Structure 1
Amino acid sequence: MEELGTPVLDDHLHLDPEHGRGLDAVRDFARLGGTHLLVVNKPSWLLGVEPDAGADFRPVFETTLDVVERASEILPGRAWPVLGVHPGLVSKLVDERGLSPEEAGDLMRAGLDEAAGFVRDGDALALKSGRPHYDVSEAVWEASNEVMRHAFSLGADLGCAVQLHTEAAEDLTEVAEWAEERGLPSHRVVKHYAGGTLAGPTPSVMSEKDRLETAAESGAPFLMETDFVDDPDRPGAVLGPKTVPRRVRWLLDEGHGEAVERAHVETPQRVYGIDTRATLSR
């Protein structure tokens, strides 16, 4: 097992022990020097869940809690669950099941309320929400924004971060302002799949060298992720579980030790309140 001399956190990936690589992906991550994971539940429809009420999301969340517990036994540090409702669900509910955008929004908010219960009980670290990254009708867009704003209200009540899946953007100041208006500090809003710079939320930067170089040189807080989807039908998507440790080594070799500290120690503490050093067991 490689030692990189620093905690190494992948801020956003999925694990599916039933259909995908599951814990083998965790072993690959740890073998290359990875120490900590934030594991986001897979979209409900990929686990065969067709929700009619908030409680119907529970099996999706419980699957994630179970794999996180087993991943933590493998890692030198630990894993944490991030639970929520994928914003793409709105299209499935409206286009495939015939719900109105408002009805779809109600169901998605109920799912977020269910996820919030796990955070409240100390079983999950953060929430996941957002809005579609593709073109949708005005009504669906507004319903999606209402769902996201509800996630911010929950995050404010719980004192937890909210990860967002959104369109590609370098400026999400308006979204960060919506969070602030609801009492959630904008730095606790995390844009997953971010580029190297972002106005508003904290960027969780896709671990490609050009994006990371930009983030490292910016001096601003950032996180690193792969968005590994653990889907056997898409084996290379998006980046593999070995990528973050490999990119950390590359950043260290390039003289970006301060940026590594920022991404894997300082920003996780600032955003999630987690101590990646204190949680290293070996």
Structure 2
Amino acid sequence: MDELDTPVLDNHLHLDPVNGRGVEAVAEFADHGGTHLNVLNKPSWNLVEAATDESIFRECFDLTVEITAAADEVLPGRAWPVLGVHPALISQLVDDGYTPAQARDIMQAGLDVAAEYVADGPALAIKSGRPHYEVDDAVWEASNAVMRHAFDLAGEVGCVVQLHTEGGEEFTEIAEWAESEGLPREQVVKHYSNGRVRGPVKSVIANKDDIEDAIETDEPFLMETDYIDDPDRPGAVLGPKTVPRRVRWLLEEGHDEAVHRAHVETPARVYGIDTEATLDG
């Protein structure tokens, strides 16, 4: 397929080195014009087991760092690990008999490890958030405490927090929490955003309607598939070809400025990465 004359970043994609396609999915992304990836670790229970201590988090993160390095080898650009703790872990732990406070402490310890991987080099950013489904008040409060801990850590090491949260558009309060913990709101990225999210930077799921909404807001945004690399659900959430295809469509529609915003300007502004300089040749 003809190359696209622009960097193409998928801001949130999972690779599963244990059960999934792994680098084969990355090659498909690259074959369709993709150049850069932010690779999120899958939930610990998908790779190893539900994490209850630092050693399990480290095993999960190391697997993701290794598969991301392999992805880096087949891309014309770069792949970066984004490491963290899936907010649904709290429900796994509570179901296994831990109190919400104990689960909070385990998850915060996992974020401590993720921040260490950022500070020491291999990881670009950390991931946190809160459940996207109904939970009781104690679990909700513990989850918010975990997320605020992520903001505090990210402020210390100088990195982005990618957020997994409930749906909706109004997240200004979360951006304010980040600022109160020392993290600029421009370094808070709402994963799986629609095009009109307020507060954090939008990482827009690569549906045409949502991308068009994001363009209309004239604000910084990123694009993602949330590809989960599960052989039982091969196209979920969106397949690895999707972001390059949407970029091609945007360019055909004359949205060159929006493509530059999503794949060059916003990555530089938010993560401090140069998607043009990191392209081969």
TM surpasses 0.5: yes
Normalised by the size of structure 2, how large is the TM-score?
A: 0.98
In the other structure, the counterpart of 1:213 is 212
Q: CA deviation at 1:258?
A: 0.5
- Would you say how many aligned residue pairs link Structure 1 and Structure 2? 281
In the other structure, the counterpart of 1:147 is 146
In the other structure, the counterpart of 1:195 is 194
Query: Is the contact made by 1:54 and 1:112 (CA closer than 8 Å) also made in structure 2?
Result: no
- Structure 1 residue identity aligned to 2:225: T
- The SS at the match of 2:122 is coil
In the other structure, the counterpart of 2:6 is 6
In the other structure, the counterpart of 1:177 is 176
Query: Is the contact made by 1:88 and 1:132 (CA closer than 8 Å) also made in structure 2?
Result: yes
Q: Deviation digits for residues 183-218 of structure 1, max 9, x if unmatched?
A: 100011000000001110001000000000111122
In the other structure, the counterpart of 2:185 is 186
- Structure 2 residue identity aligned to 1:162: V
Q: CA deviation at 1:54?
A: 2.2
CA distance in 2, matches of 1:218, 1:142: 32
Q: Deviation digits for residues 89-124 of structure 1, max 9, x if unmatched?
A: 0000002x1100000000000000011110010110
Query: Is the contact made by 2:220 and 2:266 (CA closer than 8 Å) also made in structure 1?
Result: yes
CA distance in 1, matches of 2:219, 2:39: 24
Query: Structure 1: which 5+ residue stretches go unaligned?
Result: none
CA distance in 2, matches of 1:234, 1:145: 30
In the other structure, the counterpart of 1:121 is 120
Structure 1 residues 1-282: aligned runs within 5 Å: 1-95=1-95, 97-282=96-281
CA distance in 1, matches of 2:58, 2:152: 21
- The SS at the match of 2:156 is helix
CA distance in 2, matches of 1:59, 1:152: 23
- Structure 2 residue identity aligned to 1:191: K
CA distance in 2, matches of 1:264, 1:74: 19
Large movers: runs of 4+ above 3 Å: none
Query: Is the contact made by 1:127 and 1:160 (CA closer than 8 Å) also made in structure 2?
Result: yes
Q: CA deviation at 1:53?
A: 1.6
CA distance in 2, matches of 1:147, 1:236: 31
The root-mean-square deviation of aligned C-alpha atoms, in Å, is 0.8
Q: CA deviation at 1:148?
A: 0.1
- Structure 1 residue identity aligned to 2:91: S
CA distance in 2, matches of 1:187, 1:178: 13
Normalised by the size of structure 1, how large is the TM-score?
A: 0.98
Query: Structure 2: which 5+ residue stretches go unaligned?
Result: none
CA distance in 2, matches of 1:2, 1:103: 52
- Structure 2 residue identity aligned to 1:7: P
CA distance in 2, matches of 1:167, 1:143: 15
Overall identity of the aligned pairs, in %: 65
- The SS at the match of 2:199 is coil
Query: Is the contact made by 1:248 and 1:260 (CA closer than 8 Å) also made in structure 2?
Result: yes
- The SS at the match of 1:178 is helix
Q: CA deviation at 1:160?
A: 0.1
Shifted more, 43-52 versus 256-265: the winner is: 43-52
Query: Is the contact made by 1:55 and 1:111 (CA closer than 8 Å) also made in structure 2?
Result: no
Q: CA deviation at 1:234?
A: 1.4
- Structure 1 residue identity aligned to 2:181: R
- Structure 2 residue identity aligned to 1:189: V
